[in-house]
A = this chain, B = another copy of it.
């Protein structure tokens, strides 16, 4: 199901180099705290131009996997969870994280608007989707489709149909990417699953209380945590 998302165009060179460096970080060959080879070396190793290497490094920085220290080079910051490789191809991780970046921008705003404008009907749609998802998690089931229903109910509570269209369209469906997050959660601890549900509860309370500032912060933190859970094994509770 996940593959659908990635059929639209072949992985860019930068995504491939990103995937190969990520592979070395995952295997522990590039350990947290150690310095990556220089741009010239990486460019030779992977047989690509330096701009492509730079683009891959830029994304790894944005994703919080490496950090540039001024005048010194690029250092590994964190090592993702092992089971990342079980759930998706590494060249897809970069695309996943870019999609999360878009979600952060759109869903934070949508949650705020939903808090301001939600009707009773819209609230009950959100609550029902929330309870369904929480029940499934309680039974050990991680269903991307239920997670998607919850997030779409919030997008729709804005009363602005363009918000849903901004996240889904052009062959992309929210649940494709959620599959990756939930797989990480499933293979993680029970605590992690409980944390996801508790983040959803917080978002629902904010929208119920019509508190736009709360709703925005709660949604943003939820999406940021999802991204971090993927790229950093130490964040497992």
A residues whose Cβ falls under 8 Å from a Cβ of B: 39, 51, 55, 58-59, 62, 64, 67-68, 70-71, 77-78, 98-99, 101-102, 104-106, 109-110, 113, 117, 119, 159-163, 165-167, 169-170, 172, 202, 205, 209-211, 213-214, 217-218, 220-221, 224, 228, 232, 235
Contact = CB atoms under 8 A, between A and B. Distances in A.
B67 A210 contact: yes
Nearest to A163: B102
A99 B59 CA distance: 29
A105 B104 contact: no
Contacts of A78: 209
Contacts of A211: 64, 224, 228
Contacts of A105: 105-106, 109-110
Given A51-B119, A101-B113, 6 more contacts: A70-B70, A162-B172, A213-B220, A214-B224, A217-B221, A218-B221
* Most chain B Cβ neighbours within 10 Å, of A64, A70, A205, A210: A70
6 contacts: A71-B71, A78-B209, A98-B160, A162-B172, A214-B224, A217-B224
